[in-house]
Amino acid sequence: MLPFRDVATAAYCPRKCYYRRRDPDRDRTPPPAVVAVRDLAFDYPTLLDDADALRSAPIAVTPTTYRSNLGAARARLDAWDAIADPADRDVFVSGEDCRGVVHKLLDGPTLSLVFAGDPPDRGVWHPQSVRLVAAARALADERETPVERVYAEYPAHGLVRAVDVDARRLGAYRAALRTARSIDGPPPRTRDKVKCDPCEFTDRCGVRTRSLLGRLRS
């Protein structure tokens, strides 16, 4: 049974997945800055109502944009109340293929994962989609009921996006699962060098690291 992160990382770059497995610190606690951003996802009512709290929060957009984004999510999402006040948080779930922690467990059942990095213009990044489906499948196995929609949160931006667990996403998840299971040695280097810039393992791959941005995508 694989951790959610392994499958998501395999979707991003199989070689990175290989090195992460060999890294003795790969399950280390997230940096304080990441924890501070993730904590915002559990304080949306305060951030909507308290201007001082919002001004001092580690957000990536202006307070006006932040409130606009959160307000739009509140108006658009039927699950907003559960997202703002989840039934449980940081819950370990285990399915037939994958296991890991879901940041918010919602009635339904469904779930939400919180990502500290920047979102794409639309939807979610591919590795995050794979991770969301892995979590949905694990929860479905554990509760013996389908989980057809989950949520991705980008609390530094005040964005919450619904993600349908559809055939396309399931196919991408299964492909990443097969890849993760098949890794028993260093896979070939990716040809997409943009992925190498933010990777913490580029020194082992022979590609020079130029930036730390983007590590949070996987």
Provide the β-strand partners of residue 114: 153
CA distance 47 to 54: 5
pLDDT score, position 210: 46
Q: Could you tell me which residues are beta bridge partners of residue 154?
A: 159
**SS3 of residue 149 by DSSP:** strand
pLDDT of residue 194: 76
- Measured between alpha carbons, how far is 77 from 94 in angstroms, rounded to an integer? 27
**pLDDT for res 218:** 45
The string over 50-69, giving b where at least 16 C-beta atoms fall within 10 Å of a residue's C-beta and e elsewhere, is: eeeebeebebbeeeeebbeb
Q: Where are the domains of the chain?
A: 2-217
* Residue-level pLDDT at 216: 46
- C-alpha span between 89 and 87 (Å, rounded): 7
Helix (H, G, I), strand (E, B), or coil: what is residue 184? coil
8 near 176, Cβ under 8 Å? yes
| Token pair recorded at residue 187 | 């896979």
pLDDT for the residue 24: 63
Helices (H), 183-218: 202-205
Q: Which pLDDT score, from 0 to 100, does residue 206 have? A: 59
- What spatial distance separates the first Cα and last Cα of the chain, rounded to whole Å? 19
CA distance 93 to 211: 33
What is the CA 4 to chain-centroid distance, rounded?
Answer: 10
Would you state the pLDDT for residue 66? 98
pLDDT at 189: 78
Q: What averages of pLDDT result for each successive group of 10 residues across the chain (218 residues)?
A: 95 91 74 95 97 97 97 96 96 97 96 97 97 98 97 98 98 97 85 76 64 46
At 147 the three-state DSSP class reads coil
Long-range contacts of 74-79 (CB under 8 A, 24+ apart): 74/48, 77/151, 77/160, 77/162, 79/106, 79/108, 79/110, 79/151, 79/162
Predicted local confidence at residue 201, as pLDDT: 83
Select the CATH number that applies to the domain covering 2-217 from these four: 3.90.320, 1.10.287, 1.20.950, 2.20.28: 3.90.320
Q: What is the pLDDT of residue 190?
A: 74
